[in-house]
Every structure is written in structure tokens, then in C-alpha cells.
Structure 1
Amino acid sequence: MKTKLTVLCLTICAASPALALDCADGQRAFTHAGGETCIPEQAQRIIGLHDQSVTLTLVELGAPVVGSHGRVDDDGQLYMRSVDLLFGLDFDSGQIGYAGTWDQMDFEAMVAMTPDLIIGREYDMETRDKFEAIAPTVFIADTPTGPMAFPREIADAAGVSDTYEAQLAIYEANLERARFALPHVQGATYSKIQGWDGKLEVYAGYGGLTKVLADLGFARGTVGQRMADRGVVWGEEVSAEILPELEADYLFDTYTIAYGDTLADPASRLNDAVPGWCDFLTACTEGRYIVLPREYATGFSFTQLNMLLQMITTNVATSGAPHG
């Protein structure tokens, strides 16, 4: 008898959806990096747990954002990186409330915002219990092989997928025009490098910049590709001895508007890391070292992607094609 009951149980379990959620009216099951969560069918009050990646996407797509992670500048002023630059929004306007910094979230302030949905990154799962005690929370994973999966999932959770797809169509049309203007970059190699605190850093991925370069037909240089093959999403500190291996048709670096950088600062930081670095890389000596604003280069908002297309097209067109 016990055996028959066991078989019957296994049969019923096999025929049932695994871990299927029974959500209340007005809610839907949403699968994310943290599992499956019942969220509003159409959220009305959303908190973004990262300004430059989550909140920026939400604002651009017209989602109802009531709060966001933020940062504190050297003068003690709060701001949302890239959100302020691209959309002119700050915490003083009253439209978006301050939810704390990445290492010190303000949970009491978040409760007061009465959100019906919180959207974060996979990284934020370390304190998921505290977020989930406030409102349904979803955690979006960063996928190196499909970078647009991140903003697309944010759009899905927020209920603004139609707007996302419309903006994607505009970007793809702009991309075709840029490809037409830059036929010589098909298969051209690039290295994304950076000097920081006297150290040399190389990047396998750099957010939106990596996507736009790939879309245009560029290919990672040897070191960056090796890192990507190992599953590195962003970058790593490397020895100055590998500088010759960073040789590529184009070099890309970034400066930070929020930190008061000038266009000359990135090259100066590289020189601190590897004195005379430019003399060892043909792309630099021949004028194909291109410096872009980090606020535009790292994110996946369509505003950033379209601006990157314009900036890369202009810089590459005026720098000349590699010899040979």
C-alpha cells in the first residue's frame, strides 16, 4: 500500500508545475534571479536599487519611480549618477525619494515611500529579506552574452515592455546608419583599458560601450577576449608587462563627468600606471585612442546607447583607419 501511495504521489507531482505561485488578483508571477515572486500586474510605485542601471532604465521608459539608490558627492550632496545628467532629475525635485547608498540603504525611508515593487540587481540579494519585508522585490541578473536582457527584464517587471520595444527599434535604425558610415570597422579590434590608482586595468565588458562596439562590428582584443572566455563581466587589474598584448586597432578609455575629470585625465592615469604607455601601442601613437564619458559608456539606456553611437561614429571617422 505504501508503494502505491508513493507512486501516486510521484505521478501527481510530475504532472504539476514546479513551484507554481498562486498570486492574488491584480498580481502576476515573475521569474527572476531570486526565484519567482508575485508582483503587481502594473506597478504604480517602484523603487530602483541602483541609479545608473535600474532607475535610469525605469525613468527612460516612463515607469512610475518613487525612490532610488543614490550617491554622495565630495560636497555631501546627493545625486543619481547618469539620471541627473541624462534627464535632469535629482532628489531635491521631489519626484524621486532617496533610498540610500549601495552600502547603507535607508530602509525606513523606503517604507515611507510605500512602494508596491522594488527592482534590484543580483548583487542586492545579499539583503533580500529586508527589501522583501517592504514590498515584492525582484533581482535582475547581468548576462554577459545578452546585455540587453537586463533592461528588458526591468521593463517587463515594471510593465513597460511596449515602450522598451519601441525604443529598441529606434536604436536599431540608428545602428544601421552608423554601420553604413563606418564600413571599415567590421572586424576591427579594440582594447578597453584604464589606469586607476597607479594600476593598469583591462575590461572584457564595459556595459553599453561593449554592446555598441559589438553591434558596429568591432571585436575584442586578445586580452579582453580571454577574460570574457573566463566569464569576466567587467574588468581586472593586470600587470604592466602585458601592455604589448593590448595592441589593437582602437583603444577606448573613459573619463567621469561627475568626478570633474578632463579629457586629459584618463591618459594621465594610464601614464601613472605604465610610464610612456602610449609609445608602446600603435593605436595611441597613430591617434586612435578614444576617450568617452563614463556616464554614457556604462549603461544600457537607449539614451546612452544612441549617444554612444554618435560619439563613436564621430571619433572613429575623424581618427582615420588603421594602416594595413
Structure 2
Amino acid sequence: MIRLLPFFALIAAPAAAQDCADGQRPFDHAGGTTCIPDDPQRIIGLHDQSVTLALIEMGAPVVGSHGRLDDDGNPYMRSVDLIFGLDFESSDIAFIGAFDAMDFEAIAAAQPDLIIGRAFFDIETRAQYEALAPAVFIENDPKDQLAFSRGVADAAGALDRWEDMHATYRANVDRARAAFPQADGATYGKIQMHDGQLQVYAGYGGLTMVLGDLGFQRIPVAQEMANRGVVWGEEVSLEILPQVEADYLFDTYTIAYGDTLSDPRARFDAALPSWCDALTACAEGRYIVLPREMSTDYSFRQLDMLLHLVTTHVARVPAPS
């Protein structure tokens, strides 16, 4: 008996094993090579903050997205709602599930012609996605912080748009560096107090990229983490607080969780009342609190906003030369 493979399984099969049909092209990704539409019209993003955010910024046609549930059980797309003013109710984007609870029936109902996910997380269940539509899984590159968003844009057929926005961002960086040469070589620490534990970060997504592009340098304890391959941060002893000294200290508050601008400092004050006096940057007003939703990802709108926020704070309270 001859078994006929499902139609979508044929589409999603590695392009190396077959030629792509008219209107499709081979696309290399973490899962191999897959035939995808030249001009996809119904795309699903398997992660709101990274995939869906990039797709919306590029003007790609998104019909479904991963999301999160608030305390009342209502789904939302983190950062997408704050940056682009879109949610599942105000857009044509369908909610297709949250972490570890993807709704494959909802994905099928959205009739996608392309599914885009992350290599590290979503590829584990690739067969279930590939049974519904061509699915690609984009990798992060520690040496190229924009490789992921570039890959998403490429899969969506929006690479030209990505290149234009990238060129604009680079021009904005050049202008900022010319306006604020004091940032070049200035040291910074990204810190956070969580449940009484001091956290120091080697990297913090878009914020780390913007600070590096402006010429800032990590404090030694954070650079040592980065040298060990730490991508984000680690909990450290409060005893190493003096090693966190820097020209500028950055912290973040989370709008989605109901944080206010004063909450990050309040958490430090509760855990270690004398912390600010012990760090010159804080005592002299160079402890800078930014919204986390604007700080961790790499959409060009976020990066441009970070450029503006960082340079504004640096100009307001310059570090001693």
C-alpha cells in the first residue's frame, strides 16, 4: 500500500531533498532547509517579544502569535502592546497559546502559510508545526545581536525593509556618539534587586547593544561573566556591592507586572538601606531606571528609544571626567 504524506508535510520537507514549488524558495535555518513562500501572507510568530514584534515592525502580515496571560487570564502580547499599541482584541492577530501551552487547533484555524519560531525553544516541537505549515526556526548569534531579527525579516520576505531600518539606526548611533563623546569609554553596570538578591548582568538585550554602540564598557565583574559565556546575569553576594561601582548604573522596572519607576530603588532600599550611599554613581544621581519592555529586545523602535533615553540621562548627569 502506498501511503500519501500530508500536503503540508511535503511543503515543509527539507528543500535539499526536493525542488521548491513555484512561488516558494529554499530557506536555511536551524532546522535545515525548508521551502517557504516567496511572499508569505499569513504568518504566525511563536514568540511575542522577539518574533511577532519583529514581524509587526517590518510590516509583515501576522495572523497569529504566542502570548501571555495576565492575572485575570486575559491574553496579551508583551512589548507589542506597549510599543505598537496592538493586542489580540484590537488587531486581526489570533492568540495561539502561551508558554508550554500552544494551541495547535488555533494555529490550524489561522490557516498560516508560514510559521516562524526560535531555534532554542520552539524547534523541540517542530513536527507539530510542520504538520500545519512550513516552519522555520531562527537562531541567535552571540556575535551578532541583530542576527535573529534579520533572520525573521528574511523569512518574512521583508529583508529590504530591515536593511533600511538598520541603516537608520546606525546613522542615529553615529549622531549620538558625536553629540555625547563622554559616553565613549564610560563604565556601566546593569543591576537589579530581586527577592533580596543582588543580580548583576553581563548582557541585557537591546540595552547592552545600545550601550556598546555608544562606547560604554561593562564593569569588570560583568565582563568576567560575559567572558564565561553568561548571556544575561547572575545572582551575586551583597558583599561584592563595591565591585558594582561604575560611571553609570542601569536598572529596569516592568510595566507589564505593575511596577512603577520608583520600585527598583525601593527593592534595593529594602534589602540594603545604605546601598546608594556606598555607590558613587547612585549617590551622584547616575542610577538610571528604564522600562524593561523597552530594554531587552532588538526592534529598531526599541533601539532608537533606548538611544534617546540613555543619551538624555547621560547629558543630564554627566560622569566626572
Q: Structure 1-normalised TM-score? A: 0.90
Distance in 1 (CA, whole Å) between partners of 2:32 and 2:244 is 40
Pairing 1:259–2:257 present? yes
Deviations 1:32-82 (A, max 9, x none): 122222211111110001111110110011001000011111222211111
Shift of residue 196, structure 1, vs aligned partner: 1.4
Pairing 1:59–2:56 present? yes
Shift of residue 200, structure 1, vs aligned partner: 1.4
Distance 1:19 1:211, change over 3 A: same
8 A contact 1:195–1:271 mirrored in 2: no
Match of 2:93 among 96, 108, 119: 96
Shift of residue 160, structure 1, vs aligned partner: 0.2
Distance in 2 (CA, whole Å) between partners of 1:136 and 1:197 is 43
1:172-321 correspondence runs (5 A): 172-321=170-319
SS of alignment partner, residue 198 of structure 2: strand
Match of 2:68 among 67, 71, 78: 71
Equivalent AA in structure 2 for residue 304 of structure 1 = Q
Q: Which residue of 1 aligns with 2:114?
A: 117
Equivalent AA in structure 2 for residue 162 of structure 1 = D
Equivalent AA in structure 1 for residue 262 of structure 2 = A
1:9-20 correspondence runs (5 A): 19=16
Q: Which residue of 1 aligns with 2:44?
A: 47
Task: Flag structure 1 segments of 5+ consecutive residues without an equivalent.
Answer: 1-17
Distance in 1 (CA, whole Å) between partners of 2:75 and 2:196 is 28
Pairing 1:84–2:94 present? no
8 A contact 1:195–1:272 mirrored in 2: no
Shift of residue 20, structure 1, vs aligned partner: 6.2
8 A contact 1:200–1:274 mirrored in 2: no
Task: Flag structure 2 segments of 5+ consecutive residues without an equivalent.
Answer: 1-14
Distance in 2 (CA, whole Å) between partners of 1:175 and 1:279 is 33
Distance in 1 (CA, whole Å) between partners of 2:52 and 2:139 is 15
Match of 1:106 among 95, 103, 106: 103
Distance 1:182 1:19, change over 3 A: same
Shift of residue 24, structure 1, vs aligned partner: 2.2
8 A contact 1:194–1:202 mirrored in 2: yes
Distance in 1 (CA, whole Å) between partners of 2:314 and 2:200 is 21
Q: Which residue of 2 aligns with 1:26?
A: 23
8 A contact 1:46–1:115 mirrored in 2: yes
Distance 1:310 1:76, change over 3 A: same
Equivalent AA in structure 2 for residue 37 of structure 1 = T
SS of alignment partner, residue 260 of structure 2: coil
Q: Which residue of 1 aligns with 2:33?
A: 36
SS of alignment partner, residue 232 of structure 1: coil
Q: Which residue of 1 aligns with 2:6?
A: none
Q: Considering only CA atoms, is the larger Rg found in Structure 1 or Structure 2?
A: 1
Equivalent AA in structure 2 for residue 96 of structure 1 = I
Deviates further, 152-161 or 226-235:
226-235
SS of alignment partner, residue 145 of structure 1: coil
Distance in 1 (CA, whole Å) between partners of 2:198 and 2:163 is 38
Distance 1:128 1:274, change over 3 A: farther
Q: Which residue of 2 aligns with 1:7?
A: none
SS of alignment partner, residue 299 of structure 1: coil
Shift of residue 21, structure 1, vs aligned partner: 5.1
SS of alignment partner, residue 91 of structure 1: coil
Deviations 1:242-282 (A, max 9, x none): 22211111111111112221111011223344442222221
Shift of residue 109, structure 1, vs aligned partner: 0.3
Distance 1:268 1:137, change over 3 A: same
